[in-house]
């Protein structure tokens, strides 16, 4: 009785998962189809004449796809690194230090966490123009370096660090900075891993801001490049667009497979306890 129920559940989930993953399957198989096959009716569920032509066109056809990849990596990595440093320090400060204004400064930060970027879009845009940051990494990275969700996550996690430990370090004459780097940071590792991953993904998928700051072909990131393939005026080449989309998806797939554990941890850490 119990096991038939389980099998039924697994069967329902399997069907749902197949439907849910169908777009990704369609994208990957589509990237191996030649242009005429992508428009076939009935469609080919498995490419009958698989070809690498789309990837050849994407990677070696004069499109700076590798440059786009490089830009995406640099921007996302810089955002992740900066977010980890600022979130680690601020989360620890908010959790373990006493200072006037601590509470309202923290809540002010949290309050803006949920606000859409579009509200501050125009002033940010003017600012970036004034700094001459259009089409630079700085312009794409800096607005993301204060990461309220990361601060929140680290603050929550810092509560698990026993005060006695910090007091003991102080008694032993450790400096504030020494305590932070050699005692606190290692203990915060799981939270910092989650901050690194989420801010990296946020940087990678930050389409709207990048759309506004970056418009020179060589400064585009992968999502912007893919969007360009999809919306190209000459009518778009489906196979090529799917190759671009797959190429943009692969790095995230790798990150996800390697760090899966931290994804689950980070998501549940950041939520209200159920």
Partner 1 sequence: MPLIRSIVKGRWGYFFIGPAYVLFTIFTIYPLFEGIRLSFYDAGLKMRTWVGFENYARLLTDSAFRRAFLNTLHFVVIIVPVILVLSLLFAVLIFGLNYVLQSIFRAAFYLPSVASGVVLVAVWLWIYNPTYGLLNYLTGLVGLPRIAWLGDARWALPALSVVVISWALGRPIILFIAGLNGISREVYEAAMIDGASSWQQFIRITLPLLTPTTVFVLVTQTIGVFQTFVVVQLLTRGGPAYATQTIVYSIYVTAFQFLQFGYAAAMGGVLLVVSGSIALFQLRLMRADIEY
Range 70-129, binding partner 1 (CB under 8 A): 85-87, 89-90, 92-94, 97-100, 102, 105, 107-125, 127
Mask: binding to partner 1, 35-74, rule CB under 8 A, as x and -? ---xxxxxx-------------------------------
Asked whether the CA dihedral 36, 38, 43, 47 is positive or negative, the reply is positive
Per-residue exposure over 233-265, b if at least 16 CB sit within 10 Å of its own CB, e if not: eeeebbbbbbbbbbbbbebbeebeeebeebbeb
Q: How far is the CB of 164 from partner 1 (least distance, A)?
A: 18
Residue (53 or 201) nearer to partner 1, CB: 201
Q: Per the structure block, which two tokens stand in for 193?
A: 């891993």
- 32 forms part of the interface with partner 1 (CB under 8 A): no
Q: How far is the CB of 70 from partner 1 (least distance, A)?
A: 16
- 131 forms part of the interface with partner 1 (CB under 8 A): no
**Helices and strands (DSSP H and E) totals, the chain:** 15, 0
Residue (90 or 191) nearer to partner 1, CB: 90
- 163 forms part of the interface with partner 1 (CB under 8 A): no
Part of the chain binding partner 1 (CB under 8 A), chosen from 46-54, 160-168, 186-194, 262-270: 262-270
Residue (219 or 241) nearer to partner 1, CB: 241
Neighbours of 179 (CB within 10 A): 19
- 9 forms part of the interface with partner 1 (CB under 8 A): yes
Contact 245, 170 (CB under 8 A): no
Residues 6+ apart with CB under 8 A from 6: none
- Total residue count of the chain as it appears in this document: 274
Q: How far is the CB of 257 from partner 1 (least distance, A)?
A: 8
- 134 forms part of the interface with partner 1 (CB under 8 A): no
CA 124/CA 15 separation, integer angstroms: 45
Q: Per the structure block, which two tokens stand in for 91?
A: 């989360």
Of residues 196 through 255, those in contact with partner 1 by CB under 8 A are: 201, 204-205, 207-208, 211-212, 222-224, 226-227, 229-231, 238, 241-242, 244-245, 248-249, 252-253, 255
Instruction: Tell me how many residues contact partner 1 (CB under 8 A).
Output: 100
Q: How far is the CB of 40 from partner 1 (least distance, A)?
A: 7
CA-closest candidate to residue 188, choices 65, 95, 56, 97: 95
- 263 forms part of the interface with partner 1 (CB under 8 A): yes
Asked whether the CA dihedral 208, 214, 219, 224 is positive or negative, the reply is positive
Residue (73 or 145) nearer to partner 1, CB: 145
Task: Say which DSSP state 216 is in.
Answer: S
């Amino acid at each position: 009785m119990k096991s038939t129920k389980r099998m039924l559940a697994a069967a329902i989930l399997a069907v749902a998962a197949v439907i849910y993953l169908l777009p990704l399957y369609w994208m990957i198989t589509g990237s191996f189809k030649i242009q005429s096959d992508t428009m076939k009716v009935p469609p080919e569920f498995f490419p009958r004449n698989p070809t690498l032509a789309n990837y050849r066109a994407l990677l070696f056809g004069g499109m700076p796809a590798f440059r786009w990849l490089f830009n995406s990596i640099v921007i996302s990595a810089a955002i992740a690194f900066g977010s980890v440093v600022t979130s680690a320090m601020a989360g620890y400060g908010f959790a373990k230090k006493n200072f006037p204004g601590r509470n309202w400064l923290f809540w002010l930060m949290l309050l803006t966490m949920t606000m859409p970027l579009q509200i501050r879009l125009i002033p940010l845009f003017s600012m970036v123009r004034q700094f001459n940051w259009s089409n630079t990494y700085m312009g794409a990275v800096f607005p993301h370096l204060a990461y309220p969700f990361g601060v929140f996550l680290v603050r929550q996690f810092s509560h698990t660090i026993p005060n006695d430990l910090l007091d003991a370090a102080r008694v032993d004459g450790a400096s504030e900075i020494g305590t932070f780097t050699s005692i606190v940071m290692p203990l915060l590792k799981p939270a910092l891993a989650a901050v690194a991953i989420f801010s990296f993904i946020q940087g990678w998928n930050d389409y709207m801001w990048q759309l506004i700051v970056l418009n020179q072909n060589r400064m585009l990131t992968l999502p912007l490049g893919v969007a360009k393939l999809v919306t190209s005026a000459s009518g778009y080449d489906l196979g090529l667009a799917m190759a671009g989309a797959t190429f943009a998806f692969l790095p995230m797939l790798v990150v996800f497979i390697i760090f899966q554990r931290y994804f689950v941890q980070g998501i549940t850490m950041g939520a209200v306890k159920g």
